[in-house]
Structure 1
């Protein structure tokens, strides 16, 4: 190689670290991508610019949920003429289902659909359930007749089926939303950037504020509407807000950062437990860096980071 070639190559070699630094400042370092599945650019995606759409979705969803749950026992006793014990039992079973379905939503989001599509699909399911519930309280043939004196005609089987079908479609919908909205909001902040990492804590403050805001509006205004203006309107307003939450969420799509699905977490948990049992007699090295499956900082799972080693739960070593 001539001296001219050497002199020509040196500036290129010197420029490579600067190019890498410039790229690290331009793109996120946590493996997130934009809606076109390209590496996410920090200044165009995520951060606070994307959060209003996510928080708006959560506020409207909580308003819809509490707009039903707060006064549902009253609706079942006064309009479907159920007894107090039966109505309370049915509402408790429904609410318990609403808090179990997030397990399904979390598994689908982490292993298959991703958080964005899980929220999108289950929000639309939620809206369908709200619409069915509103129809059951508005269409005369889908609700029992009013009481005549002390005589209250019972609800027909079809009226029961429509009402409870709508309620359990809502329970399914809330599973995908409740499980993914906080983590999807956290995905908008890059953990490898100290400035963005500090902002993540503020996001959760606003997240819980949006929950409380939706609950306050439901427990005051929506309940008043149901008691004074009718149940059709009282269920219709939460259904309208749920529709707005779907629109709000889709509106922010170009601004979001997305984490790709990383496989079923249940499978990985089982792998860790099985490996720990099979290798419990194995002597582990003193150097904790030798415990990892790869020598670099990245995990063997695509788009994932290594868990930091610590002295607790040493059996996992």
Structure 2
């Protein structure tokens, strides 16, 4: 090589290659961030999840398919169960209603047990698969109860009824435990398929809860029509076997998409973690938290238990629980005892749950209103003119308007309202979750007011000897409640999931089902209290057997008033609530 060329090569500036190396390194980092999820999720093999191969709507379609089958099977079993108990097992109306109510309440309580198992031991996926298998077995047992008279001959009617009851209720409570493993995990597992660190996937997570509710309502409509028709025309053996086959199809949907799922790590029992904070704080009752929050205990960054786990920043409220993270001399002697010293992240997890409880109570009262619409409005409709043209409309079937309204509005809300609100307000979800829930609570109040006005009109016509009021007047109260259902139910699911600590996602989703159960129990308590308070001294009360002698309108106005008080309480709690993003 000529000397001038060699001289030029040897004297090239050193920085000439450095920008290329730096840009290449940064490009590799960015590429890696784009390839893998940022929320610590794993694939089926336990490796960091790849964005383009796992999660998103490709996985959620199968999850929503499983949810559709689960709801179709559950509602197909529930809707006509009272009829089966009274006609086939010869139970009284009171006994049948009591048995169905007890079983349904159990179905809303078991999701809490399923959530604890999922978050603590098995994980959501395995809990769902086991729950689905138990549910299929329970539905088959229920179908077997209808087949027993064909399989066993020469047995007394009383003995046959007893055998059928045993097999049926064994199957029903197997279904309850199967549903407990499916319901909270399906919601939470579906939301896990969207990366919280990716803005586009974060927006899709809000849509997921809308379409989850849409799927559930579709299944409910089909159950109240097609499934009931099949049971009435083709017998109970086939009518109860079809839900089992439907749920088996849902299980196949769930398992078929396994390679596409994203999985979250389990971090132990959430209730154990909560109890540890409470016990540690009580033990240090006389210890004052330090002024410098940096002195509170936190698990070191290099600890394997905190691998890819986001720490939660300290908040200033509920300072009593901060005592659990104060390091004392006795803690140093008993190093590693979680019942004496808890991490700051663990303390903040408990604070999040405590903050959500007042809001949860207000949401539970919303379901008290929906329970009244589904029960007292039916009794109201039975006292009205059910003829619409040449057709006679069963009063209970008007509840379909609630479902249809919700189903019609969900696509409009998700595809039109949310994008418009996102552009105007600059929020990812369009409007805050708590504002959406509050709007739903408002709709419940308006539905009660509409029912009261209809009852005033109906009762006046009955007392004046006029023609019965048409049942069509009930449509607005059902439609308004459908709007409230679309706003409040999907909103509370999104709220509980987004605000839940990472280690308690499924448990917090189970709070939604506990809210339904609490609302139904409170509804029964309110009815009992009203009957006791108003039916005294020989008076018929507000809700007698003959509504023309009572004042059902006063009951609806009372519920509207209680709903207003609940809305005020909810608004107060919502304004004081400290969101995780604000912490």
TM > 0.5? yes
Alignment of 1:283 with 2:292, yes or no, is no
Q: Distance in 1 between matches of 2:161 and 2:225?
A: 31
Which of 187, 195, 208 is equivalent to 1:190? 195
CA drift of 1:100 comes to: 1.5
Aligned to 2:209: 204
CA drift of 1:231 comes to: 1.0
Q: Distance in 1 between matches of 2:199 and 2:294?
A: 24
CA drift of 1:309 comes to: 3.4
Comparing 298-307 with 173-182, greater Cα deviation is found at 298-307
Aligned to 1:148: none
Q: Distance in 2 between matches of 1:308 and 1:60?
A: 41
Query: Residues 283 and 262 from structure 1, CA distance in 2 versus in 1: closer, same or farther, beyond 3 angstroms?
Result: closer
Aligned to 2:258: 253
Q: Distance in 1 between matches of 2:241 and 2:227?
A: 10
Aligned to 1:157: 162
* Greater relative contact order structure (CA < 8 Å, 6+ sep): 1
C-alpha offsets along residues 181-227 of structure 1, whole Å, 9 cap, x if unaligned?
10000100111112211110000001111111111111111112112
Which of 137, 142, 147 is equivalent to 1:138? 147
RMSD value, Cα: 2.9
Does the Cα contact within 8 Å between 1:62 and 1:214 map onto a contact in 2?
Answer: yes
Does the Cα contact within 8 Å between 1:101 and 1:174 map onto a contact in 2?
Answer: yes
Aligned to 1:149: none
Comparing 91-100 with 250-259, greater Cα deviation is found at 91-100
Q: Distance in 2 between matches of 1:142 and 1:269?
A: 52
Q: Distance in 1 between matches of 2:71 and 2:302?
A: 39
Which structure has the larger Rg?
A: 2
Which of 46, 50, 64 is equivalent to 2:59? 50
Which of 36, 48, 55 is equivalent to 1:39? 48
CA drift of 1:24 comes to: 1.4
Aligned to 1:3: none
What TM-score comes out, normalization by structure 1 length?
A: 0.87
Query: Residues 223 and 290 from structure 1, CA distance in 2 versus in 1: closer, same or farther, beyond 3 angstroms?
Result: farther
Which of 96, 121, 128 is equivalent to 2:105? 96
Q: Distance in 2 between matches of 1:294 and 1:78?
A: 62
Comparing 93-102 with 53-62, greater Cα deviation is found at 93-102
Which of 135, 138, 141 is equivalent to 1:126? 135
Q: Distance in 2 between matches of 1:210 and 1:144?
A: 43
Structure 1 unaligned blocks of 5 or more: 1-5, 146-151
Query: Residues 283 and 312 from structure 1, CA distance in 2 versus in 1: closer, same or farther, beyond 3 angstroms?
Result: closer
Look up the SS of the partner of 2:89 in the other structure.
Answer: coil
CA drift of 1:248 comes to: 0.5
Aligned to 1:304: 309
Q: Which has the higher helix share?
A: 2
Alignment of 1:111 with 2:120, yes or no, is yes
Alignment of 1:269 with 2:274, yes or no, is yes
Does the Cα contact within 8 Å between 2:76 and 2:227 map onto a contact in 1?
Answer: yes
Does the Cα contact within 8 Å between 1:299 and 1:306 map onto a contact in 2?
Answer: no
Which of 215, 238, 245 is equivalent to 2:243? 238
Query: Residues 301 and 142 from structure 1, CA distance in 2 versus in 1: closer, same or farther, beyond 3 angstroms?
Result: farther
Comparing 298-307 with 210-219, greater Cα deviation is found at 298-307
C-alpha offsets along residues 104-132 of structure 1, whole Å, 9 cap, x if unaligned?
11111001110011001110111111111
Q: Distance in 2 between matches of 1:309 and 1:197?
A: 24
Which of 48, 61, 86 is equivalent to 1:77? 86
C-alpha offsets along residues 235-282 of structure 1, whole Å, 9 cap, x if unaligned?
122111101100000011011001122100011101221232234423
Q: Distance in 2 between matches of 1:290 and 1:206?
A: 45
What TM-score comes out, normalization by structure 2 length?
A: 0.49
Q: Distance in 2 between matches of 1:86 and 1:144?
A: 27
Look up the SS of the partner of 1:293 in the other structure.
Answer: coil
Look up the SS of the partner of 1:50 in the other structure.
Answer: helix
Aligned to 2:173: 168
